[in-house]
Amino acid sequence: MIEVQDIFQQYGTEYREKHKLTLAQLKAMSAIEKCRTSQLGGHIDKCESCGSTKISYNSCRNRHCPKCQNLAKERWVDSQKSNLLNVGYFHVVFTIPDTINLIVYQNQKELYTLLFKAVAETLTELASDKKYLGGTLGFTSILHTWGQNLMHHPHIHC
């Protein structure tokens, strides 16, 4: 299966030449490209019983790296499961029109904050309306900043 690292390694140089990226974006992209490759060094694991060896390359540990954060994600999901009640749940996704993606990209802190606020207020208002639920919700919200096609596509999963 193709990974973000494969895409960055194949198209990263050309992309960086054509687009202006922030220092944080450049650092994340570079870390992901190098993650678990010889560029970050590594170590040799040797089996005490049979003597076979295996080379393991070091991780980048960047918080944006899908490889490095997979275990942390799984741990987070498991910890969230312990907070769940034995009731039905709904998965709701809120997004914005793609015509304003550039504005959002240029004002991330302000507009992501506003998006979270709008989502929370919408869910709370609809849930409290007797027409729908007439109750109080508890929910977890997670911001995703890109879509499956790896393009900028901010949306919130609840």
How far is it, in rounded angstroms, from Cα 89 to Cα 10? 40
Select from 97, 110, 95, 103 the least CA-distant residue to 145: 95
Mean pLDDT score across all residues of the chain: 91
The overall pTM is greater than 0.75: no
Q: Which residues of the chain have pLDDT under 50?
A: none
How far is it, in rounded angstroms, from Cα 60 to Cα 37? 9
Q: What is the pLDDT of residue 77?
A: 85
Q: What is the pLDDT of residue 150?
A: 67
How far is it, in rounded angstroms, from Cα 122 to Cα 116? 10
How far is it, in rounded angstroms, from Cα 156 to Cα 158? 6
The CA-atom distances, in angstroms, between 6 and each of 34, 57, 97, 120 are: 10, 16, 29, 36
Domain ranges of the chain: 1-60, 84-158
Q: Is 154 exposed, middle or buried (0-12, 13-18, 19+ CB in 10 A)?
A: buried
Instruction: Tell me the pLDDT tens digit for each residue of 86-111.
Output: 888 889 999 999 999 999 999 999 99
Q: What is the pLDDT of residue 118?
A: 97
